[in-house]
Amino acid sequence: MKAMILKKPKPVERQPLEMVDVPVPEPGPGEILVRVHMCGLCHTDIHTVEGDFELPVLPIIPGHQIVGTVEKAGPGVTKPAIGDRVGAAWLNRTCQECSFCRRDLENLCEKALFTGYHVHGGYAQYAVLPADFIYSLPEDFSDRDAAPLLCAGIIGFRALKLSNLKPGETLGLYGFGASAHVAIQVAVHRGCRVLVFTRSRDHMAHAEKLGAAWTGTSKDRPPEKPASSIVFAPAGEIVLDALAHLEKGGTVALAGITMTTIPALDYDRHLYHEKMLRSVTASTREDGRELIRLAAAIPIRTDTILFPLEEANEALRLIKESRISGAGVLEIPQ
């Protein structure tokens, strides 16, 4: 099968991914073999290929927003059935026995494995996945439209939940990429006013198209204080701006997997009046199921730009430079 593989991390500008031919993998007990149709592109993929965090496996095939059909089932798998369309996300599998798993916090499992990081992902024609950790996808979504929901959508949805946002309140979004463009649709559906903070004029226009009540940069004073905010941009200094703009008793959720150093906080300006700052770590399967149900009901419409598999390096570079509005998706050759 054809795959884009990472042998050694380096900046995306230096073309770290190589197109190779490798054997089609075999599913083991409890696993399925999926013929990959589309794979969404994610900022986490950039952190992976550039080596921003230690990689447990090399070489590795990145990609964790997988949409495809079940081609083969391993021992013990009764569903999904051969031919079913399924999706897979960042959370690949957990121990299902630790205290976190038992408390419905499987995203914090100490033994969790992640797709495209611990195990080969979706930048390939086939992927082996655990049957218990895949998603059924609504018929209303094409493969291309469904792919961004499987990480950008799910993590944005979990961030919304952890931000304590209530229907009708004001939400601040810092950064407006693939995840924020899904989160804003959920918030608007719930009657919330959304304020979007971004440096990109194109992203401002995209946010306004999707219902933002106001757009500006993180240094601009918004027309009102958000009750909740989500920081998608991985820049630590923005956290201070988000806290300074926040209403008393509000929550700022940090949705990124990495963040540059957060500067020193001024207690009175940034934290006093019972403001809350919390991080978001991956997501649970239930987060994914809830988001997919909601996406069909709203319905959420993802804005995507399609790239052939062999252009994965260039696509990641464009995402790194904030030159994509919405989400990038790889089309996998069949």
- My answer on whether 95 and 164 are in the same domain is no
Query: Which residue range is the domain that position 188 belongs to?
Result: 154-279
- My answer on whether 21 and 92 are in the same domain is yes
Per-residue pLDDT, 13: 97
- My answer on whether 207 and 325 are in the same domain is no
What is the torsional sign of CA 139, 142, 148, 151?
A: positive
328 forms beta bridges with: 305
**Residues composing the chain:** 334
Farthest-apart Cα atoms in the chain, separation: 59
- My answer on whether 167 and 136 are in the same domain is no
Report the CATH number that the domain containing residue 94 is assigned in CATH: 3.90.180.10
Per-residue pLDDT, 268: 96
126 forms beta bridges with: 35
Average pLDDT on 222-228 reads: 98
Digit-coded pLDDT (tens) for 98-157: 999 999 999 999 999 999 999 999 999 999 999 999 999 988 899 999 999 999 999 999
Digit-coded pLDDT (tens) for 31-70: 999 999 999 999 999 999 999 989 999 999 999 999 999 9
- My answer on whether 6 and 91 are in the same domain is yes
Number of domains in the chain: 2
pLDDT higher than 90, residue 316: yes
In a domain, 262, yes or no: yes
In a domain, 56, yes or no: yes
Query: Which pLDDT band holds residue 239 (cuts at 50, 70, 90)?
Result: very high
Digit-coded pLDDT (tens) for 261-276: 999 999 999 999 999 9
What is the torsional sign of CA 171, 176, 180, 181?
A: positive
Query: Which pLDDT band holds residue 180 (cuts at 50, 70, 90)?
Result: very high
Digit-coded pLDDT (tens) for 187-210: 999 999 999 999 999 999 999 999
DSSP annotation of 53 reads S
Long-range CB contacts (< 8 A, 24+ apart) of 45-49? 45/116, 45/316, 46/12, 46/316, 46/319, 46/320, 47/257, 47/258, 48/6, 48/9, 48/116, 48/117, 49/6, 49/9, 49/10, 49/12, 49/16, 49/17, 49/316
In a domain, 47, yes or no: yes
Report the CATH number that the domain containing residue 264 is assigned in CATH: 3.40.50.720
Q: Chain-wide mean pLDDT for the chain?
A: 96
